[in-house]
Structure 1
């Protein structure tokens, strides 16, 4: 297959566009694959349900939305990009991230092979042709593609979740999920606002809205052990490091547990005396990023006593910021409520201090649960509260929801959703037995939520492309994960998780946030370095674990 001038010019037969590859998703994974598959000579097209590039950052437009991974970690390693791009902040806001994706699209000339406002509804494998027939909904009607390879890069946050509260439709004000924030924004100045949920989004929203609104109520089920974000504004073109250091920096990302430029300390918590341990914690805390979580003592996520020591340090630091004793006990309780770091940790910039303001209220839904949404606002077991806006910052059907909401059917006719009804089964967190020529990135049973996004997008994307190139060179048409290897990988993911404290905590890492969802570890906790080695070993062994024909 030779190089082609324009991957979008696939054959159109009876209104069906013929391609080598169809990619879903214009986030990090999708755009990396589009660029490099096209460079390799494939006829490839990217479709995206949103109106532009950015993945979750196209949708995340709520006040305060910003990434909590620092740059330059949170960008691609291609010199054509970083040599011509300058960040304004260490932790960029959503608007700057969308601008970065526009820069990527321009430098890589992606728009000619991308189609937006296009939501894939179904994908069916045709065994006679060894191709996927993929149907998508667009503003102009249905679009049909036939592709040898189907690469859904839906990510871990593609299907929003709103609890089935009674009376949502009766609310006279505006009820919304943050991922559907209006592009034109909302005028919340002087309004009464409720935020339900204290995950990363809830923390960012509450911090940003507190100075604007007349009354803010934050409904909390579980504490967020968020840590301070040390924001840096870059001036006069200065960046986090000299650009000549970038190549070595990017090369080292796959040598860390989390795909950043740092790693766990090579000793355990109680190897240090209390004074040394305290000094270590203080140094990590002062970094103002994820180091207190993912560059701390090597036993923090695995040993109860070590974990409790980290929590106690966090607790004491946090309680010092909160004046009201009752609020203090709700936001940073003396008794550890769950294993530290085993729920998604966020970075904050003044979050706890907002509860010192008289117009900001914390509602503990454990003691006063939400009973219904009413015409006026929210009715708890204690009272009814009146609001102008209710923001349901209740997260997503993470990891599997984005894939399962598409009607994907392999040779058996069974849908992926049915296939995963009782649990998730993948090989290497990228492929499913019974679904040939389909690969996904940043999905379940990969390091995904414990991995810096661009790092995983590149290492998984490159591996998929190398496999496709191997097939093309060998004249092969079909690749499928072997069922026995899928079972082995699922067990390996569980075994690794069970050596840690992760299963002891209810979180979306374990599928706990969605009623009826099977409880299982949805991420590979072995770390990026171990995962990268497994990918390399699999390829070196002739893609052992996959059936190629």
Structure 2
């Protein structure tokens, strides 16, 4: 395979043509595409013991996807789209992992994967145009290209709470649960956090625990998931029109079959607006977030109308008015934080064994004691602590790789004031490095498999073009990178997103530069796809090829 690469313009010498880091959706597709389409010698390194990525590590109670299952899958295997049967609208973690295991077996992916192997560093050799990749399991290897498929939410954020080391009970982060799960029966449990993960976990844990204390720093607006079995007739219709569905989600704003209403909130009567809101609420899923009126995320006045509807829903659901008020967000506009999908989340706070501790009203967590958590001067005895405190999003998984580019430049130094990329795919100073769904790409603002497939296809086509032209180095140009960074911030400046202290802004990590991490193309993922395709057709302007 290496000789084949040399004959097609890639100089001989490296152990591998491509090293891919991570074996989730991204890494699996990258291996399949680069190995089987281009005939390259590819190796995937994965810290876990099997494929799955997010769906290997996140096995907390209630973990499930929140995009509809019929589009939360690989679309490049058209026969599998017909053959695979999902059990629910939003399948749980074990089912998604079974799906990914099936794909790995079906396409013989594991033979080129090395599990239980963590990449500890990689450095670019300018003289040879090669990456040298080091792992915790043996000798370094060299590769022409390095592709990061580490995910956007994989570097855990474990808060530095005083006293955690002396806690006599057990504690877990939601992305590091034991394989066999945790038995909460008869236990006093604390969940720290109320983001999307916690919203899934809290109702399930509350059913098992003797007592559950939820520690909330910031309330979130939740909308119902409406999970359940999908009507067989609906499944059949979808399978009959998968070609059209794939085209629609690739061209849609968010990689889903949701489109904003092309009207202002104020273009319809209050009665009509209420009917529209009710329909979206009853439908469930992301409709209320990304299929709402077009000015919801740009106009404070329009946003207030939508938020008021959600506040009324919370008050109607939660029986104790004081608890309901604590669950209503006060510090951010609706939709400017990641939208959690709710399966009886608000109803859980009607249970007698559930206590909500709100940092703003009851006092923040002060320390972990030997027997529990102290917050606002009050001790809460617990046996198990679950940290649903999220991740160092988007940049964290990449800076953790200890990457060194030209001149020994460290990625964390290049990004000391925030990420700098071109298209969210490449980084100036780091030749032959491709970042799948990296910062400043649509990634987390879309249905992730759609964003992943677009990047993998683009990277594959780029390497194919390089081989055809006898090129062996590609690097983002600094000027193009600067222009892209300005564009990313300009497009978001007309929205309400920058006003929120969200992980989209890096605000959940102390000391992290405050900047919008993903990219919101005015024309959505479809517009971004078109932009990337045009760059390829024009011969990759903004990239230096050698």
Which category of TM-score, normalised to the shorter sequence, fits these structures? over 0.9
Of 154, 159, 162 in structure 2, the residue corresponding to residue 163 of structure 1 is 159
Deviation above 6 Å: which 4+ runs of structure 1?
1-5, 235-238
Q: Indicate the residue corresponding to 1:486 in structure 2.
A: 481
Of 283, 303, 314 in structure 1, the residue corresponding to residue 299 of structure 2 is 303
Deviates more, 1:233-242 or 1:175-184: 233-242
Q: Indicate the residue corresponding to 1:151 in structure 2.
A: 147
Separation of aligned partners in 2, 1:143 and 1:213: 47
Of 403, 416, 427 in structure 2, the residue corresponding to residue 408 of structure 1 is 403
Q: Indicate the residue corresponding to 2:271 in structure 1.
A: 275
Q: Indicate the residue corresponding to 1:68 in structure 2.
A: 66
Q: Indicate the residue corresponding to 2:545 in structure 1.
A: 548
* TM-score computed with the length of structure 2 as normaliser: 0.95
Displacement after TM superposition at 1:3 (Å): 10
Q: Indicate the residue corresponding to 1:354 in structure 2.
A: 348
Q: 1:3·1:42 contact (CA, 8 Å) conserved in 2? A: no
Q: Indicate the residue corresponding to 2:49 in structure 1.
A: 51
- Structure with the larger helix share: 2
The alpha-carbon distance between structure 1 residues 183 and 324, as it changes in their structure 2 partners (threshold 3 A), is: same
Q: Indicate the residue corresponding to 2:331 in structure 1.
A: 337
Q: 1:80·1:107 contact (CA, 8 Å) conserved in 2? A: no
Separation of aligned partners in 1, 2:127 and 2:438: 29
Displacement after TM superposition at 1:332 (Å): 2.0
**Cα distance per residue 1:68-116 (max 9 Å; x no partner):** 1112110111213212211101100000000010111122111111111
Q: Indicate the residue corresponding to 1:225 in structure 2.
A: 221
Q: Indicate the residue corresponding to 2:190 in structure 1.
A: 194
The yes-or-no answer on 1:439 pairing with 2:434 is yes
Of 444, 450, 459 in structure 1, the residue corresponding to residue 454 of structure 2 is 459
Displacement after TM superposition at 1:421 (Å): 0.9
The alpha-carbon distance between structure 1 residues 523 and 236, as it changes in their structure 2 partners (threshold 3 A), is: closer
DSSP 3-state at the match of 2:485: helix
* TM-score computed with the length of structure 1 as normaliser: 0.95
The yes-or-no answer on 1:175 pairing with 2:171 is yes
The alpha-carbon distance between structure 1 residues 97 and 244, as it changes in their structure 2 partners (threshold 3 A), is: same
Displacement after TM superposition at 1:33 (Å): 1.0
Q: Indicate the residue corresponding to 1:37 in structure 2.
A: 34
**Cα distance per residue 1:207-226 (max 9 Å; x no partner):** 10111111000000111111
After superposition, residues 223-302 of structure 1 pair within 5 angstroms as 223-234=219-230, 239=235, 241-302=237-298
The yes-or-no answer on 1:96 pairing with 2:95 is yes
- Stretches of structure 2 lacking an aligned partner (at least 5 in a row): 6-11
Separation of aligned partners in 2, 1:94 and 1:423: 32
- Stretches of structure 1 lacking an aligned partner (at least 5 in a row): 6-11
The alpha-carbon distance between structure 1 residues 73 and 240, as it changes in their structure 2 partners (threshold 3 A), is: farther
Q: 1:437·1:478 contact (CA, 8 Å) conserved in 2? A: yes
Q: 1:135·1:145 contact (CA, 8 Å) conserved in 2? A: yes
Displacement after TM superposition at 1:337 (Å): 3.0
Q: Indicate the residue corresponding to 2:9 in structure 1.
A: none
Displacement after TM superposition at 1:381 (Å): 2.2
**Cα distance per residue 1:349-399 (max 9 Å; x no partner):** 101011111110000112311111110110112211110001111100001
Deviates more, 1:231-240 or 1:56-65: 231-240
Displacement after TM superposition at 1:240 (Å): 6.9
Matched residues, number: 536
Displacement after TM superposition at 1:242 (Å): 3.7
Cα RMSD for the two superposed structures: 1.8
Separation of aligned partners in 2, 1:505 and 1:242: 37
Q: Indicate the residue corresponding to 1:538 in structure 2.
A: 535
Separation of aligned partners in 1, 2:133 and 2:169: 39
Deviates more, 1:418-427 or 1:473-482: 418-427
Of 383, 391, 394 in structure 1, the residue corresponding to residue 386 of structure 2 is 391
Q: 1:90·1:240 contact (CA, 8 Å) conserved in 2? A: no
The alpha-carbon distance between structure 1 residues 80 and 66, as it changes in their structure 2 partners (threshold 3 A), is: same
